[in-house]
Amino acid sequence: MSSAQQQVELVVRTIAETAVENEKYFGDLDAVVGDGDFGYSLARGFEKVLEGWDDLDRTDVGTFLKRTGMIITSRIGGTSGPIWGTAFLRAGMSAGTTQELSADQVVQMLRAATEGIKARGQSDVGDKTLLDALVPMTDRIEQEAKSDADAEQILAAAAETARRAAEETSDMVAKRGRASYTGERSKGSVDAGAMAVAVLTERIHEVWKTEGVS
């Protein structure tokens, strides 16, 4: 198994386990102005990924991510499935058959995922969605990569940026999803999707410190 495959498997498994563990927390965040099903939907989809973990096609990084995305799309209800599934599918298409993962490649994969989310969700930065954490986080990864930071340093910076960006969504008015129906009342609470990006990134950073594949 290539080091890129090991790295991607570690990240995807961490995301799946963390989504399941935080089902109630993410649901509670969503319930403030949304319909409260975000945590449940995310957990059910990633449970399916974990259930079929050993059978996922590991031909290469791209195939693995695309298969993961297809499971998520088919298993998560509401808008979350298509959006999160598309993110994995687009990242997989960007990764292709790569055997080594550079920071630049990771940035390209995240940019591809971002474009997929924008198109699928008809949303952009500033609409109070997961993009408001994902895009600043990706920008920070790109910035850190240019300074020759190592993987652990890049992840630490990514986690810090995602957390700050997610918390800043509390000042925004939601323009997409169920939360947008509440207008100005959506101010004062963080976006559940953006906070999920922060929590997942923080957990990836923690796991990488002990299990990271060089």
Give the contacts of 206 (CB within 8 A, at least 6 positions apart): none
Report the first-to-last Cα separation within the chain, whole angstroms: 13
Give the contacts of 7 (CB within 8 A, at least 6 positions apart): 101, 212, 213
Would you list the domain boundaries of the chain?
3-211
Residue 34 φ/ψ, nearest 5 degrees = -100, -155
The conformation of residue 185, written as its DSSP 8-state character, comes to: G
Give the contacts of 99 (CB within 8 A, at least 6 positions apart): 2, 3, 4, 5, 60, 61
Tell me the pLDDT of the chain (214 aa) as tens digits.
678 899 999 999 999 999 999 999 999 998 887 777 889 989 999 999 999 999 999 999 999 999 999 999 887 766 777 899 999 999 999 999 988 888 999 999 999 999 999 998 888 999 899 999 999 999 999 999 999 889 999 999 999 999 999 999 998 877 655 544 444 555 778 999 999 999 999 999 999 999 876 5
Which tokens go with 183?
């207008």
The pTM of the full predicted model, rounded to 2 decimals, is: 0.92
CATH superfamily label, 3-211: DhaL domain (1.25.40.340)
